Structure 1
Amino acid sequence: MPTGVAIRDARRQLFDAAERVLLRDGPNALTSRAVTTEAGCAKGVLHRHFTDFDGFLAELVHDRIGRIEHRAAALRESAGTGTVADNLTGALTDLFESIAVAIVGLVISRDELRARLRQASPTGVPLLAEAAAMIASYLTAERELGRIAADADVDTLAPTLIGTGHMLFADRTGAPPEPGALHKVVTAVIAGVVR
């Protein structure tokens, strides 16, 4: 006699449950029990698919980093269209209105998770480092098209934009930034390089 019901795509179900807990209750509430309860499955399901809870969290972060890589391709393709400020504002809004801010809080709050992530990405804050690479890649494409100055330091502009965007969105319990606040900051940061 079966002891349970088969779960389709258990990894996805567990990742989605972890996101909901993280967004609703914050990184301190994210436990294996909270995730499996949210997913509606037995705790053993998580441990069947992952070595331990920090292994699960590391896979969650890597999965979300993969989403940034997909966004990066779309952002690069937007080079030469619209305005640089609008494209950057859209990309940063999309990034920071997603789970990214909560994931960064999770990475910062868990030493073992951070140590595991350092094995794959030894510098920067995981997820934010990949987001900065996404912005730098886009700015490079715009520089090649002549829409920003040939001498624009995209490797400085990108983390500046990421850090500023993160600061605007970082308080997950407060109100989101005022409409236009991010665009104003983006415009100020790139003002000296836009052609």
Structure 2
Amino acid sequence: MPTGVAIRDARQQLFDAADRILLGSGPSALTSRAVTVEAGVAKGVLHRYFTDFDAFLAEYVLDRADRMDPHAAALRDAAGTGTVTGNITEALTALFGSVAVAIVALITFRDELRARLRHDWPAGIPVLTEAAQIIAAYLAAERDLGRISPAAEVDSLAAMLIGTAHLLFADRTGPPPDTARVHRAVTAALSSALP
């Protein structure tokens, strides 16, 4: 792209390019050059907004974690409607059908990125930690409504559900699991908590 041409929301353009690369080719293909080429911008654009590529990646991961708010609102609003297993199956399928699994692989793949993220996100892995909190809040709401056992340990159940879903969706070489498979896993994980 020629110098001097205005770019609307360059940061978002770069983040969206990173999504496409991660989903299409995985974390090993994510380089500053690949991102700028995919975004259709000069390489200097990335360095105009970020001190280096790992700073870009850290902000990218945190941006994607922040985007979980609509998922949180949708799941929270589902409390008391449908079935608990159906609502969680839908939420997990949406989460792991997105860039979330690829972001986990990216964080695991890059030591410097993990080190930078510890400053802003001291515990857990962004996206997965946020998702576990969303599911725990939903389960707490369902517990308050009497749709799951009053003794249910919602934080433990949420972590178990995230781990289970991550294992189901982690294989990028094959097709993602179908809804029925995710639903069976959710039902098994919640069996002791459902009335």
For the aligned pair, the TM-score class normalised by the smaller chain equals over 0.9
Q: What's the CA shift for 1:22?
A: 1.0
Q: What's the CA shift for 1:67?
A: 1.3
Corresponding residue for residue 80 of structure 2:
80
| AA matched with 2:35 | V
Structure 1 distance, partners of 2:105, 2:146, is 37
Runs of 4 or more above 4 Å deviation:
none
Corresponding residue for residue 62 of structure 1:
62
Corresponding residue for residue 37 of structure 1:
37
| AA matched with 2:10 | A
Structure 1 distance, partners of 2:10, 2:68, is 22
**TM-score between the two structures when normalised by the length of structure 1:** 0.96
What do the CA deviations read for 1:11-40 (whole angstroms, capped 9, x no partner)?
111000111111111101100000000011
Q: Aligned pair 1:20/2:12, yes or no?
A: no
Q: CA RMSD in A?
A: 1.1
Q: What's the CA shift for 1:6?
A: 1.1
Structure 2, unaligned runs of 5 or more? none
Structure 1, unaligned runs of 5 or more? none
Secondary structure of the residue that 2:67 maps to in structure 1? Answer: helix
Structure 2 distance, partners of 1:3, 1:130, is 39
Comparing 173-182 and 76-85, the one that deviates more: 173-182
Corresponding residue for residue 6 of structure 2:
6
Q: What's the CA shift for 1:190?
A: 0.8
Structure 2 distance, partners of 1:177, 1:64, is 23
Comparing 172-181 and 59-68, the one that deviates more: 172-181
What do the CA deviations read for 1:60-95 (whole angstroms, capped 9, x no partner)?
111110111321122111100000000000000000
**Does the 8 A contact of 2:93 with 2:179 survive in 1?**
no
Q: What's the CA shift for 1:172?
A: 1.3
What do the CA deviations read for 1:165-190 (whole angstroms, capped 9, x no partner)?
00000011212113400000101111
| AA matched with 1:178 | D
Secondary structure of the residue that 2:68 maps to in structure 1? Answer: helix
Corresponding residue for residue 71 of structure 1:
71
| AA matched with 1:131 | A
Q: Aligned pair 1:124/2:121, yes or no?
A: no
